[in-house]
Amino acid sequence: MAIISVCLASLCLAIGNLFMRKSIDSGGGAKTYLALQLSFSLLVAILLGPVKAQTYSINGQVACFGLFTGLMLVGLLFFLGKALEKGPSGLTFSILSSAAVFPGLVMAVVYGKAHGFTYTVWHAMGSVLVIAGLFWAGKKVSVIEVEGQKPKRVMKWFVFVTAMFVLHILLLLLYQWRGLILSTNQLSLVTNFFTPEKLGNEWFVPMMYVGAVSVQMSYFLKTERRWPSPKEWLYSFAGGTVNSLCTFFLLYGTKTASALESLIIFPIYSIGTIVFSNLWSQRLYGEQVNWRACQICAMGIVLASVDWRVAVAALGW
């Protein structure tokens, strides 16, 4: 079920990327889209969480954790935008996506076999293939072109893309750590503070968007002096809706994932997003898609997800 959930999450994110592209094509701006989209995401998150569950009480722990996660989310979006301004978009998105293979490794290092997290040579080989495929799939501008720019501009791009990369890993780790706490009902980094009961509060996702909206809306109001167009409102509402669904499915996947699934759900999420995004970019905009690179990613997933010792034993070898 966890694999299905992250596949649905990747589909929702790809559709959200499409709405963002449509909004920009209609003459809108990324700052406006993100401010409105995050606001609509907050509304949908409240409806899917507290309102649906009829839970209106909130504890200080989940509020703080949600706000902190929201700050990471908006920071990630900020540095992503800056990196896209200074460097190649294809390479930037590939680096962003490649961060998804590291949370599983970090969880294995931190918690290890005692809590069901193992990292074998097959996981390592699969991760390498995933990274290679992601770079190949998203790389529209070569590294040579980046190096051909002014050194100062390249250095700024490198700083922005590094910050984006680190924040993406940390954001995914927060999702996975919370899912681990909720699924095991025993792990906690702070005794009697981040307990499963407190972290499982329905206000986590809404508070995450509260943190993100507060920062992004303040930035939008400070730098923009215009009223959004009707199309910007429409695409932002649609994008905010599918973005909330993406978060819902992703968090559900981390909560229900087994130890083995936890090592690969984020790579699957990343690859699914690229595949679905490539489908609409090819169908609607006629862009060229490197499907062989996607196959390399799929091979990496197979290597990282199959217990080869069991498979070999089943074959009688």
pLDDT value of residue 67: 92
Residue 265 contacts by C-beta under 8 Å, 6 or more apart in sequence?
A: 2, 3, 6, 104, 253, 254, 257
User: Cβ(181)–Cβ(194) under 8 Å?
Assistant: yes
Contacts of 268 (CB under 8 A, 6+ apart): 3, 6, 7, 10, 301
User: What residue ranges do the domains of the chain occupy?
Assistant: 2-314
> Could you give the residue ranges of the DSSP H alpha helices within the chain?
2-25, 30-46, 52-53, 60-86, 89-98, 102-111, 121-138, 143-147, 151-184, 196-199, 204-223, 230-256, 259-285, 291-305, 308-314
Ordered per-residue pLDDT tens for the chain, 317 residues: 788 999 999 999 889 878 877 887 787 777 888 888 888 888 888 888 888 888 888 888 888 889 999 999 989 988 877 776 676 666 677 777 778 777 877 887 887 777 667 777 877 888 888 888 877 766 644 444 444 555 566 778 888 888 988 999 999 888 888 877 777 666 555 556 677 777 778 888 899 989 999 998 888 888 887 888 899 899 988 988 898 888 889 888 888 887 767 767 877 887 888 788 878 877 887 766 677 877 887 787 777 766 666 556 655 66
